[in-house]
Structure 1
Amino acid sequence: MSAQLTSVLFPGRHHLVTRFQVDYLRSLLDGNESDTDGRPLVLAPEAEVVWAVTSATHTGTRRNPVPAHRREALIERVALDADLPSVVAPVPDVPPSPRFATTVLASVQMTTGRTLTPDDTVVACSTPAVAALYAALGFRVAAVEDSHDPAPLRPWDVLEHMVAGDPAWRDLAHPQTVELYDRYRLDDAVRLVHTDPTVGSEGDLTETRDYRTYTAAFDDASDRKWAQVAPHVVPGKVVDLGCAAGGLLERAARDPRLAECDLYGVDVSRHLIAEAEHRQAQGVFENPNVFFAQRNLLRSSVFPPASITTTITVALTHEISSYGDGRADLELLARRIFEHTAPGGVWINSDVLGPDGGDERVVLRLDGPLRTDRPVDMSGWTRQAVHDHITALSPAERFVQFARDLPVLAHTDLEAGPVSPDGEVVLPLRSAMEFLTTRDYTDSWLSECHERFCDMTWDDWRTLLTDVGFEIGVGSGPWTNDWLVEHRLSVGASIRTPSGAPVPWPSTHLLMVARKPH
């Protein structure tokens, strides 16, 4: 007779629990199931289920749409309702590894004090590759869905039915799953994450961004950016859309005028919101009323109508235009912000700007040498390899690479001629500025080549905002960043007309203070 087992290790992400899973676990505890070798599994009367919730530190993505605390609550409700003796062990998100089973076992030991061994534990797992990792450690495996023919739908299959709007998911999921999803509207949240066309499977606009340098750049500019927008902030409820790691809100939290205000940081990036919340836990925000959320305002409203006095967007709108549907998404953003802005409130937008007369053909002169006019396909390269390759190129060679990467990644045409042996290229002024404002982002080259910096001119913005209903406030206007011109744009480059006359450097940025009328 087989030795009695005291634990059932049930690893999984557990975004929902199905009726079948509960019935199977009950049957397993009652001694009615066998392992993958056909041997009966005999469970002790005091046996319990150890629910290992994997990817517990990862949320807001298609892979993990439900946060760990909701998953834990779901399991506790199901276990109580089904009379399943249970404990829950959160397991951090880790990259795929042959040591995954060991990681889960160590997490269980650290969070529950239970040391699970092949002598006292059976692993309930229907994923063959994962089950094999436990079997290699000597554990017996109960195959759950794979033990039946035909196999019932797994939880992820049921979740995809829910995303597709198929009401059958409610019959397949355990009733406590349905109740919790209804209570917290998790089905809507999961559906938004899964159907978002601009955010990738890992919860960000792009998978090629270097977050270390990206966050550092935002932090370095936060003092300057806050000084620019602070005079126009209307106290009350203040929102920083595209808040990154919270650098701007850190400055806002120090402002005596906003000491009694609620400050909200919203970003689509899971990585950046996690860093902002980490900083909050370290006490960097002087105002205690600072809140962060991972949301995409284009997919659904985040705040109630007429509830926000100030919305700030810094270096955000060009990303929305680039990764979304161009001007149409900017119009949607403007309408959403107008809706949640209180009468007399403002939207303060600081971002890059396309040049007036952007269709005018100019001659861009770039320093050589031009050793090759053949760009390379860097897809699949490591970030460091991309950085090293781009850094080694001369300005003229870097343009050759840019002329290949921008159309592929940002879906736009530079309309540029070939680069001559002496480094001259004829192209629209807008395309010349696209290159010059992008070329120095060597740490995140492929990410930046997804973005278009010059989609909107000042007149475009003014028309868009007034059409929505905003008034253009005092302090608004285009401007040229002279430091950028001197230290970046003009280094190894110049722009002339086809007749040879110098072209003045156009506006590079805008500050727009859009006020909602009383």
Structure 2
Amino acid sequence: MRYVLFPGRHHLLTRFQADRLVALAARHGATIVWAVTSANHDNTRRNPVPYHRREAAIERFSAVTGLRSVVVPVFDAAPTPRFAEVTLKNITAATGIELTPHDTVVACSTPDVAAMYERLGFAIDPVEAGQEPAAERPWDVLLRLAAGDETWRELAHPATVDVFDRYRLVETVRTVVNDPVVGDEGGLTATRDYRAYVEAFADSAARKWAVAREHVQPGRVVDIGCGAGAVLELADREPALRESDLIGVEVARHLFDECVHRKAQGVFANPNVFFYRRNVLGGAVFPARSINTTLTFALTHEIWSYGDQEKSLRAFAQAIYEHTAPGGVWINSDVCGPDDRDRQVLLRLEHGDGANPGGPRHDLARLPSAQVAEYVAGLSTRARFDQFTVDFAFGVPHTAQGDTVRLALGDAMDYLTRKDYHASWLSETREQFCGLAYADWRRLLDDVGFELDPASRTSRNDWIVANRIAPVATLTDLDGTPLDWPVTHLLLVARRPLNS
């Protein structure tokens, strides 16, 4: 045997792996080929450590143990039973080494992965799984680290401990693995169509920038939840900001990658444009009192929805206050709940504009997204409400009599402002637009320490009312008195006092 193929994510290396690999290499006089999977992912629960740090630890590990190693990055791919073949082809393309069952043993403790190589004829060394009892796997040791259990240092190889300490990866791993908001793959939700999301944000960037532009203070300007950087691209064109640092913060991996790509393509003229992949709820991103302007667009309702509602939103507002320089500003544009959102109202919904099945489905989460979109789009406005009550993550207490539903005003507006999002139904029904009214925002910002600028205001999207809501719904008080459609959006210009 000339090679030992060692596939895995390799976020953490253990002392056991060192002993096992040294024994294998000594027995066969072999080179260790490290196939580092998910090499293009980092800052996610499954992949908290970036590839270049993993590679550094492997190279140091090899130098300390005397192993001859070759390290190959393998990008993430959709689940496939041919992943072993894909990995082998990656190795050949990157190194010219063609591994075969005649000259290679595969070291792998994951049964499903080992079985793929076994089907190709490779001999398998089970590594940790070959011990009785099984040795602790690297991921188990990483979870010890994430939980604050310092015994991870005794199980991890000194090469990993050294790299983690030098590059401050311990806190990074703990923050990412314990993140209450972000999913395993680095997004807020697995059902979001990020291509459509990027297109929608690009289309609305000019409108958003027009709202914020007059309130922006030069200096360090941060766009949190920057998407693919469309608003920062407009800020980049402002002569008044040519000496400013323009900083984008994005938690979703797909969107952050697009920001980095666009910067590499020369989209931004200002050399001081930077992007960070961070979740602000995980802790401070910037030093205290260091930011002049913070921008957030269509973000705070997501923090409310995917976090712990007001607790998470308050923590977010506090983090922004802390990093804002005295006299600095937070500009927040988002959806808004109606005043008196708990008020009971009657909502009459059209039933003749689509299908009216006997009841809502409870299996949409198991269907392909295209099939979900087609089904929801085919429902009448009244039937779609019934489906909404099943899928909406926050519940919709109501009573119904025919086409008329009695419910809270906030719940009515959550449905009416979401009912036409067929293509992203399962994502949108996890978000609450009407969790806070304007008065709630005023109280929250005052508690944190911000002062609300007179430019702050609420508004109603009259196009949506005229084209999407009014044609298929009527809103009345419980006695049948017609009610005006309430506000749908807000602009908050919150300033940190100069003497704070």
1:48 and 1:85 in contact (8 A); partners too: yes
- Which amino acid in 1 is paired with 2:376? I
Show the counterpart of 1:394. 380
Superposed counterparts of 1:366-377, under 5 Å: 366-369=349-352, 371-372=356-357, 374-377=359-362
Superposed counterparts of 1:355-370, under 5 Å: 355-369=338-352
Query: Residues 434, 101 of structure 1: CA spacing in aligned structure 2 closer, same or farther, 3 A cutoff?
Result: same
The answer to whether structure 1 residue 142 and structure 2 residue 125 are counterparts is yes
Identical columns (%): 54
The answer to whether structure 1 residue 379 and structure 2 residue 379 are counterparts is no
- Which amino acid in 1 is paired with 2:432? R
* Whole-Å separation in 2 of the counterparts to 1:279 and 1:343: 33
* Whole-Å separation in 1 of the counterparts to 2:178 and 2:372: 31
Show the counterpart of 2:303. 320
Which is worse superposed, 108-117 or 217-226?
108-117
Q: CA RMSD in A?
A: 1.6
What's the secondary structure of 1:301's corresponding residue? Answer: coil
- Which amino acid in 1 is paired with 2:496? K
Which is worse superposed, 113-122 or 445-454?
113-122
Over residues 53-94 of structure 1, what are the superposed CA-to-partner deviations in whole Å (9 max), with x where a residue is unaligned?
011112222111111111111111111122211111000112
Q: CA deviation at 1:338?
A: 0.4
* Whole-Å separation in 1 of the counterparts to 2:198 and 2:454: 31
Q: CA deviation at 1:415?
A: 2.8
Show the counterpart of 1:293. 276
The answer to whether structure 1 residue 405 and structure 2 residue 391 are counterparts is yes
Show the counterpart of 2:481. 501
1:373 and 1:400 in contact (8 A); partners too: no
The answer to whether structure 1 residue 438 and structure 2 residue 418 are counterparts is yes
Task: Provide structure 2 residue ranges, at least 5 long, that are not aligned to the other structure.
Answer: none
The answer to whether structure 1 residue 459 and structure 2 residue 439 are counterparts is yes
- Which amino acid in 2 is paired with 1:14? H
- Which amino acid in 2 is paired with 1:30? A
Superposed counterparts of 1:114-129, under 5 Å: 114-129=97-112
Show the counterpart of 2:71. 88
Superposed counterparts of 1:77-226, under 5 Å: 77-226=60-209
* Whole-Å separation in 2 of the counterparts to 1:133 and 1:404: 40
2:92 and 2:98 in contact (8 A); partners too: yes
- Selected match of 2:12 from 12, 16, 33: 16
Show the counterpart of 2:42. 59
What's the secondary structure of 2:423's corresponding residue? Answer: helix
What's the secondary structure of 1:438's corresponding residue? Answer: coil
- Which amino acid in 2 is paired with 1:141? I
What's the secondary structure of 1:362's corresponding residue? Answer: strand
2:8 and 2:37 in contact (8 A); partners too: yes
2:7 and 2:108 in contact (8 A); partners too: yes
Superposed counterparts of 1:459-478, under 5 Å: 459-478=439-458
Show the counterpart of 1:39. none
- Which amino acid in 2 is paired with 1:15? H
1:243 and 1:266 in contact (8 A); partners too: yes
Over residues 276-302 of structure 1, what are the superposed CA-to-partner deviations in whole Å (9 max), with x where a residue is unaligned?
222222222232322222211112111
1:213 and 1:443 in contact (8 A); partners too: no
Show the counterpart of 1:34. none
* Whole-Å separation in 1 of the counterparts to 2:254 and 2:155: 33
Q: CA deviation at 1:371?
A: 2.8
What's the secondary structure of 1:310's corresponding residue? Answer: strand
* Whole-Å separation in 2 of the counterparts to 1:211 and 1:249: 18
Q: CA deviation at 1:187?
A: 1.8
What's the secondary structure of 2:333's corresponding residue? Answer: strand
Task: Provide structure 1 residue ranges, at least 5 long, that are not aligned to the other structure.
Answer: 32-41
- Which amino acid in 1 is paired with 2:289? A
Q: CA deviation at 1:425?
A: 1.6
- Which amino acid in 2 is paired with 1:279? R
Which is worse superposed, 289-298 or 457-466?
289-298
Show the counterpart of 1:417. 399
Over residues 153-208 of structure 1, what are the superposed CA-to-partner deviations in whole Å (9 max), with x where a residue is unaligned?
11111112212222211111111111111112212111112211222222222111
2:221 and 2:247 in contact (8 A); partners too: yes
- Which amino acid in 2 is paired with 1:109? T
* Whole-Å separation in 1 of the counterparts to 2:446 and 2:257: 36
* Whole-Å separation in 2 of the counterparts to 1:142 and 1:348: 57
* Whole-Å separation in 2 of the counterparts to 1:400 and 1:144: 53
- Which amino acid in 2 is paired with 1:11? P
- TM-score scaled by structure 1? 0.92
* Whole-Å separation in 2 of the counterparts to 1:201 and 1:230: 35
2:356 and 2:379 in contact (8 A); partners too: no
- Which amino acid in 2 is paired with 1:374? G
* Whole-Å separation in 1 of the counterparts to 2:111 and 2:308: 41
- Which amino acid in 2 is paired with 1:76? E
What's the secondary structure of 1:146's corresponding residue? Answer: helix
1:267 and 1:294 in contact (8 A); partners too: yes
Query: Residues 128, 428 of structure 1: CA spacing in aligned structure 2 closer, same or farther, 3 A cutoff?
Result: closer
- Which amino acid in 1 is paired with 2:382? A
- Which amino acid in 2 is paired with 1:487? N
1:430 and 1:454 in contact (8 A); partners too: yes
- Selected match of 1:335 from 299, 309, 318: 318
Superposed counterparts of 1:24-35, under 5 Å: 24-31=20-27
Over residues 201-240 of structure 1, what are the superposed CA-to-partner deviations in whole Å (9 max), with x where a residue is unaligned?
2222211111122221111111111111111111111111
Aligned length: 495
Q: CA deviation at 1:373?
A: 5.3
* Whole-Å separation in 1 of the counterparts to 2:147 and 2:496: 38
Q: CA deviation at 1:151?
A: 2.7
1:109 and 1:115 in contact (8 A); partners too: yes
What's the secondary structure of 1:350's corresponding residue? Answer: strand
